[in-house]
Amino acid sequence: MRIYREPKVLAMLFLGFSAGLPFMLVFSTLSAWLRDVGVERTTIGMLSWVGLVFTLKFFWAPVVDRVALPWLTALLGRRRSWMLIAQIGIALSLVHLAGGDPVAGSLQPIAIAALLLAFSSATQDIALDAWRIESAPLPMQGGMAASYQLGYRVAIIAGSAGALWIASESGWNAAYLTMAALAGVGIVTTLIISEPAPAAARTTFEQEQRVVDFVVRRENWPRSLREIGVWFTGAVVCPLADFFTRFGWKLAVMVLVLVSTYRLTDFTMGVMANPFYLDVGYSLKQIAAVAKFFSSFATIAGVLAAGVLVLKLGALRSLALGLVLTVITNLAFMILALMGEPDTVALAVVVSSDNIAMAIAGTALMAYLSSLTSAAYTATQYALFTSLYALPGKLLMGLSGKFVDEFGYPLFFVCTSALSLPALIMLIWLWRVAPAGLGWRRGVGGNRAAV
């Protein structure tokens, strides 16, 4: 337990809170607000497409990785300066949402504010993930991931249970204004922590320099085009080339397929969770107390267990366990839908089990993805991985409301469970073909160390 007393690991609690707060407010809680005031489920599902911003963050991750912000970068450093700008954007977006009215006016102002919130949150994720990976050695990354997840889950309590409770007492506008104030936690933490000093292998820079020299030698190209080419090569081409060079094309493609299918069930089911609770007959206070607050303790237990599981079972086994548990708990939601009458005990059992499954799967995936990055391209490569694991699910989640309207909740949960099967097959395949030297069967640290 000594690792949790490390200052950087403690800082991850608050940074994880900063990362988790906007995520709930732009997805789950926002869908509850819109459904509570009578917005159609199909519209709610389509509005969730603003979350595609999270999956597209790879496109501006090279900017966060390479571009210095005037004055601010010199004062705070590359990672912290981008984190601070993004956190200010999160606070302003939440204030804008707090002033919205989906009943009296159109949904356009709310959609714009949600889009800005998602963009600011995604930008924070890029810089924050880079800070986390660069600030601690590989043996500490498990503790950093677990600490991040704990902070993230506390933010989920605040952004879901807290927001729902405030909304039931004082209205949705007051709830979002309170969340805007809580965004100050990330701002204060960013101002306190220190900037990491990233280190990359000399061979990495030599390889990049050879590619850049090729562009520079194109004397027949206009100077402006060569300058753009140099930046694009170093910021975009080289991170991709580095990943495929280290793992080889076949294994790299298999890893990317796994990453892109691993969270299909979570994303597709998640946006309909709150509308499902309301449609079954639970009140906002019941949802806040049971589905959000009480079950969050199961999430914390799942996060702590995940740290042990990754160490003892290895990366692939931990990922497989999280996936199997996710399938089982999604099928449990089908049983809850078939019960017909709201049952508080059943809700607590099902949601708590689902939270444990998601905690194990999420922590294992986070530590695994961290082990895949190169120190020279931390932000860009990690953004690529997180964009890939979210993109297919985000595309499908926009149709979730339409599916429920057409076929009902029981069949919906059966289908969301089935979406985990491709990733499970890929895990079995990777277990059989991945070289033992990569260390995936033992834990998350062996991979980067061996490569």
Measured CA distances, 199 to 126, 193, 376 (Å):
18, 19, 7
**For range 397-425, the mean pLDDT:** 88
Q: What is the pTM of this model?
A: 0.71
pLDDT the model gives residue 226: 57
Q: Which CATH number is 2-198+248-450's, of 3.30.1330.200, 1.20.1250.20, 3.30.2270.10, 1.10.10.10?
A: 1.20.1250.20
User: How does residue 447 score in pLDDT terms, banded at 50, 70 and 90?
Assistant: very low
Of 250, 235, 263, 255, the C-alpha closest to 362 is: 263
Is the pLDDT at 84 greater than 90? The verdict is yes
Q: Phi and psi for 250 in degrees, rounded to 5?
A: -65, -50
Q: Average per-residue pLDDT in the chain?
A: 81
pLDDT the model gives residue 293: 75
CA-based R_g, the chain, Å: 22
Asked whether the beta carbons of 271 and 48 are under 8 A apart, the reply is yes
Asked whether the beta carbons of 264 and 420 are under 8 A apart, the reply is yes
Out of 315-324, 373-382, 393-402, give the one with best mean pLDDT: 315-324
Out of 66-70, 76-80, 269-273, 300-304, give the one with best mean pLDDT: 76-80
Which has the higher per-residue pLDDT, 282 or 214? 282
Is the pLDDT at 315 greater than 90? The verdict is no
> How far, in Å, CA of 156 to CA of 355, rounded?
11
- The model's pLDDT over 198-246, given as tens digits with 9 standing for 90+, comes to 655 544 555 555 555 555 555 565 656 655 665 566 666 777 778 888 8
- The model's pLDDT over 44-66, given as tens digits with 9 standing for 90+, comes to 777 777 877 887 787 888 888 87
The CA-based diameter of the chain, rounded to the nearest angstrom, is: 74
Is the pLDDT at 15 greater than 90? The verdict is yes
Percent of the chain with pLDDT over 90: 21
For residue 144, count CB atoms less than 10 angstroms from its CB and return exposed for 0-12, middle for 13-18, buried for 19 or more: buried
**For range 421-433, the mean pLDDT:** 85
Amino acid identity, position 255: V
